Structure 1
Amino acid sequence: MPLDPTVIGTQLPPTTMTVDAGRLRFFATAIGETNPIFTDRDAAAAAGHANLPVPPTFLFGIELESPDPFAWLAELGIDLRRILHGEQSFTYHSTAVAGEVLTAAPTISDVYSKKGGALQFIEKSSLVTRADGDLVAELKTVIVVRNPEGGK
């Protein structure tokens, strides 16, 4: 089933999380980050941070905090067995640190197809802000949907 371009501009439910220092340390270790500012509060303070800074790519996980982070795909009629994570990018405007409350507000920003419709793409853009509305980052995710009816 081809993706309906009228979904472009659809705002998806926002997700809010309080950034936890323990999760930041775990994430930094998991991605192989060795800079101590991401795991040691004294090192972070010496580098000028109020607390442990959020490691690169951590913000992608905010939206995964929702009870069903892929419900919006199912609502579009997409079979989750046919999706792949295609791309993600980050534009940082400021550094978030442990203890801050961040909200990710996603919007479907584009849909398109390639290979005669055999591959469909959904681009989702998210703004990550602090509780006071200050912009932390802009995120972009591209999801690839294999369409068994396309490309014929």
Structure 2
Amino acid sequence: MIDRRYIGHTLAPFSVPVEAGRLRFFAKATGQADPVYTDVAAARDAGHPDLPVPPTFLFCLEMDSPKPAAIRELLGLDYRRLLHGEQQFSYHAMAYAGDVLSFEQRIEDIYDKKGGALEFVVRRTRVSNQHGALVAELRSATVVRNG
């Protein structure tokens, strides 16, 4: 069983610059046809100061953590038994190319189902920009298959 004392544990925050080239690549990879996500002039014509960050791109930036396996290592989780359970995004402000986003990860909950056959680790990440404004909250659940 995963030690529940880690509920509330926070990891060291980290920051990631939002690069226009990565935004264009992501738009292409996800089939985004709207030029607002690839052309600065189109973005500005639409009222944006630069290329906007597409909604799920924050998950990609979160993976730029200096220690992407920090929670797994902290909890002693065997990656061969892990499943991606769910993911949610709550948006509060837009982010753009040129911003520097800070990520603060926290273990929000650890619980089990089916008599411990499945354990869940819920992570909440607060994302803020270089001005300290809250951009988004990311919530993710990892499932550990036991037995």
Shorter-chain TM range is: over 0.9
Distance (Å, rounded) in 2 between the aligned partners of 1:53 and 1:123? 28
Looking at structure 2, the residues matched to 67 and 105 of structure 1 have their Cα atoms a distance apart, in angstroms, of 12
Residue 61 (structure 2) aligns with:
62
1:62, CA displacement in angstroms? 2.0
- Cα deviations by residue, 1:108-144 (Å, 9 ceiling, x for unpaired): 0011111111111000001000122100001101111
1:12 pairs with 2:7: no
Runs of 4+ in structure 1 off by over 6 angstroms are none
TM-score normalised by length of structure 2: 0.96
Paired amino acid for 2:30: I
Q: Percent identity at matched positions?
A: 52
Q: What does 1:131-146 correspond to in 2, within 5 Å?
A: 131-146=130-145
Q: How many angstroms apart in 2 are the aligned matches of 1:133 and 1:100?
A: 11
Q: Which residue of 1 aligns with 2:122?
A: 123
Output the CA distance in 1 between the equivalents of 2:14 and 2:32: 26
Counterpart check, 1:27 vs 2:26: yes
Paired residue for 1:36? Answer: 35
1:66-85 matches, within 5 Å, as: 66-85=65-84
Q: Distance in 1 between matches of 2:84 and 2:14?
A: 20
Aligned-residue RMSD, C-alpha? 1.0
Which residue of the partner structure matches residue 112 of structure 1? 111
Query: In 2, distance between residues paired with 1:21 and 1:88?
Result: 25
How far is 1:72 from its partner?
2.1
Whole-Å Cα distance in 2 between the matches of residues 67 and 134 of structure 1?
A: 22
Question: Deviations 1:45-95 (Å, cap 9, x if unpaired)?
Answer: 011100000011000122211233013212211111111111111010011
Residue type of the alignment partner of 1:133: G
Which of 88-97 and 28-37 deviates more?
Answer: 28-37
Query: Which blocks of at least 5 consecutive residues in structure 1 are unaligned?
Result: none
Q: Which position in structure 2 is the counterpart of 1:51?
A: 50
Question: Contact 1:102 / 1:129 at 8 angstroms: preserved in 2?
Answer: yes
3-state SS in 1 of match to 2:63: helix
Q: Distance in 1 between matches of 2:25 and 2:129?
A: 22
What residue ranges of structure 2 are gaps of 5+ in the alignment? none
